Structure 1
Amino acid sequence: MKVLIVEDDLDTAEFIKRGLEQHGEVVHHVATAQQGMLLVSSNEFDVVIFDRLLPNMDGIDAVRILRSSNVTTPIIMLTALSETSDRVSGLDAGADDYLVKPFDFSELYARLKALTRRTPLKQEALCLCVGDLTLERTARRVTRAGLTLELNQKEYQILEYLMLNPGQLVTKTMLLEKVWGFNFDPKTSLVQTHVSRLRNKVDKPFSIELIKTIRGCGYIISDHD
């Protein structure tokens, strides 16, 4: 496993680096968000550990920029901020997991392994279609009725998973696992918020609703009533 640590606290960085290297992992460390963004964009890392409070740029802003640039490398965010709103902000920006300092190395390592073990989405179809909605997976391009839809990374992943399972119920639990890598319910409105935003882009401007809510169960994408 090739790991990038973006952390300005040298003691914390050395603690993580030493622990990972003892497990035989390859580790690279930088101290600023700008350095981290440059390396993530130009190198192949299996996972990135990103501190929240960095000099000159908040880690959340850095992660948001990376995701808007279609960087899909799994990211776990570290922070001393423990409020639920802080965690939701990090996840909403595009982080895949969130760990509050201080933490046990064993927990961090388990979470890193879980992120790298995550089952990839099906790769058979390169172009997915539901009605007049099209998702081109190689170009990461989404169009409806010929109009290009601008989606952030999580919105794209949710839509991709729904379109891989057209006409089938996709539960909140399934989305938490497949899109965020969670095997637990974080007790937030994370899924509902992202699906609502996705609907505003995919359905609101058009006459036919494709993403349907099955109350108390989940969501179905279909061009049939």
Structure 2
Amino acid sequence: MNRSRLLVVEDDDGTARSLAAGLAAEGFDVRTAATGDQADASLAARTGSSTSASPAASSATADLVILDWMLPGLDGITLLRRLRARGQRIPVLLLTARDSVDDRVLGLEAGADDYLAKPFAFAELLARVRALLRRTTAPRQPWQHAVADLALNLETRLVTRAGHTVDLTPREFDLLSYLAIHQGEAVSRDQLAREVWREHNRATPIDNVIDVHIARLRRKIDDPHSQKLLHTIRGLGYMLRAPSSAPATPPGNPES
């Protein structure tokens, strides 16, 4: 029996129940989420990047997400972009009543692996789910990122530099992994506040908190080595890059 794990993110209770029942009858292990925020907490827990996930969410995993576009709070497109920004490659089938060519392009460019317009036949949804799962059944190495001699494993949360283990706090790992996913790009403090600290519409800036964590990272990953990987791009933020990589910064924004 196929026990692939599916997460159905749908705010309409009737639709969610119908999909869950139909997919469960086909042998899938199905969980549901009624909002984008609930789904985000569950999926972020896969890489330990959620700071507020409940115990139930932290045990949840999914092999594929069936994601409605129009959701209360965090909408489907925003959630999709957040998953990809975290480096999560989980297949996503996007469901929506918006079926114009422009909407389809927007959904696919945001990171969807497939797109199904409402109303749809359950048989077609099932066929698309199975097709997406077939693409991802080949054995894969754990998610890894490498910047010069710095290596991160996003599943085991192991960090090494020049073959030596680097001990990081959970927050330091989340910060470093986000910079590694965006290596070669200048990442702003606002971006880090949203995606690492999960601070939205913050009334009190946390720039100093971010700067302190950056300083700690430098001491751990750069200070013992002659080649520096973590750079401050003045006026833009921070960048993690290999020494041989040219920084992608506009003129007039020196780095340190």
Q: For this structure pair, what is the TM-score category when the shorter chain's length is used for normalisation?
A: 0.5 to 0.7
C-alpha displacement of 1:150: 3.7
TM value normalised by structure 1? 0.56
Asked if the contact 1:134–1:142 (Cα under 8 Å) also holds between the matched residues in 2, the reply is no
Residue 5 of structure 1 corresponds to which residue in structure 2?
8
Structure 2 SS opposite 1:29? strand
Give the counterpart of 2:123 among 102, 106, 121: 106
Amino acid at match of 1:18: A
% identity of equivalent residues: 40
Q: 1:2 to 1:121 in 2, by over 3 A?
A: closer
Give the counterpart of 1:30 among 29, 33, 57: 33
Structure 2 SS opposite 1:64? helix
Which has the greater radius of gyration? Answer: 2
Q: 1:88 to 1:28 in 2, by over 3 A?
A: same
Unaligned 5+ segments in structure 2 are: 46-59, 155-176, 187-244, 249-256
Give the counterpart of 1:15 among 2, 18, 23: 18
Residue 205 of structure 2 corresponds to which residue in structure 1?
none
Amino acid at match of 1:95: A
Tell me the C-alpha RMSD between the 2 structures. Answer: 3.2
Give the counterpart of 2:184 among 149, 154, 159: 149
TM value normalised by structure 2? 0.50
Q: Tell me, in whole angstroms, the C-alpha distance in 1 between the residues paired with 2:126 and 2:119.
A: 14
Q: 1:150 to 1:91 in 2, by over 3 A?
A: farther
Paired residues in the alignment total: 148
Q: Which deviations, in whole Å up to 9, do the C-alpha atoms of 1:106-150 show, x marking residues without a partner?
A: 111111111111155875xx7899xxx99978578489xxxx424
Q: Does structure 1 residue 76 correspond to structure 2 residue 93?
A: yes
Residue 39 of structure 1 corresponds to which residue in structure 2?
42
Q: Tell me, in whole angstroms, the C-alpha distance in 1 between the residues paired with 2:128 and 2:74.
A: 25
Q: Tell me, in whole angstroms, the C-alpha distance in 2 between the residues paired with 1:8 and 1:81.
A: 16
1:93-172 superposed matches below 5 A? 93-119=110-136, 120=138, 138=153, 141=180, 148-150=183-185
Structure 2 SS opposite 1:77? strand
Q: Tell me, in whole angstroms, the C-alpha distance in 1 between the residues paired with 2:121 and 2:84.
A: 28
Asked if the contact 2:145–2:181 (Cα under 8 Å) also holds between the matched residues in 1, the reply is no
Q: Tell me, in whole angstroms, the C-alpha distance in 1 between the residues paired with 2:150 and 2:73.
A: 37
Q: Tell me, in whole angstroms, the C-alpha distance in 2 between the residues paired with 1:12 and 1:20.
A: 12
Q: Tell me, in whole angstroms, the C-alpha distance in 1 between the residues paired with 2:145 and 2:65.
A: 29
